A = this chain, B = another copy of it.
Amino acid sequence: MAIMIFVTGGTFDKEYDEVKEQLIFVETHVPQMLKLGRCKVDVNIRTIMLIDSLNMTDEDRQIILDNCKKAKEDMIIITHGTSTMEVTARFLGKSIKDKTIVLTGAMSPYAFGSSDGLFNLGCALAFAQILPHGVYVAMNGRYFTWDNVRKNEKLGIFEEIK
């Protein structure tokens, strides 16, 4: 059974534009990351949007939710900016119960040397295959349920709300 990866953007997929001298989106790096990982799991990839999650609106989240509902796969990974990953997790967690959905991202762009992106993608792929139906965030090597996660902006990590 295939896994669907929905790409929505975030630091995970940012690149450096040397003419504009700023960070931009061009296209997702997920295919080359899966190739690097020699991933042999059946995976479909769909770029829904490529935005900074600070700019994500409820309309954007509705689009993500609709895509999750319409997907024939019941194992879904969503690459997402870390700034509002917990907001999208809660939005999805309230509405969708019959799939395993794992949100992940990166603190540093995959396109740069010292990124957590490849590690996080590996974690998310494994969690998506095993966790029971529900919505989760996978960051920092662990998973959180959608209703018990927040980003600690000061430390730059994810933690339980407790």
Are the C-beta atoms of A113 and B116 separated by less than 8 Å?
no
Are the C-beta atoms of A138 and B119 separated by less than 8 Å?
no
Q: How large is the interface on A (under 10, 10 to 19, 20 to 34, 35 or more residues)?
A: 35 or more
Are the C-beta atoms of A141 and B41 separated by less than 8 Å?
yes
Contact with B along A46-57 (1 / 0, CB 8 A): 000000100000
Given contacts A108-B18, A111-B113, contact A119 B157 (CB under 8 A): no
Q: Within 8 Å of chain B (Cβ to Cβ): is A34? A: yes
Contacts of A38 in B (CB 8 A): 107, 116, 119, 139-141, 156-157
Q: For the complex, what is the distance from the CA of A83 to the CA of B114, rounded to whole Å? A: 26
Q: What's the minimum C-beta distance from A10 to chain B, rounded to whole angstroms? A: 10
Q: For the complex, what is the distance from the CA of A39 to the CA of B157, rounded to whole Å? A: 9
Total copies of this chain within the assembly: 4
Chain A, range 1-60, C-beta contacts under 8 Å to B: 11, 16, 18-19, 21-23, 33-34, 36-41, 43, 52
Q: Within 8 Å of chain B (Cβ to Cβ): is A125? A: yes
Chain A, range 103-119, C-beta contacts under 8 Å to B: 107-109, 111-116, 118-119
Contact with B along A108-145 (1 / 0, CB 8 A): 11011111101111111111011100000011111100
Which A residues contact B (CB, under 8 angstroms)?
11, 16, 18-19, 21-23, 33-34, 36-41, 43, 52, 83, 107-109, 111-116, 118-127, 129-131, 138-143, 153-154, 156-159
**What 6 pairs across the A-B complex have the smallest Cβ distances?**
A122-B122, A37-B119, A126-B126, A39-B141, A40-B140, A119-B122
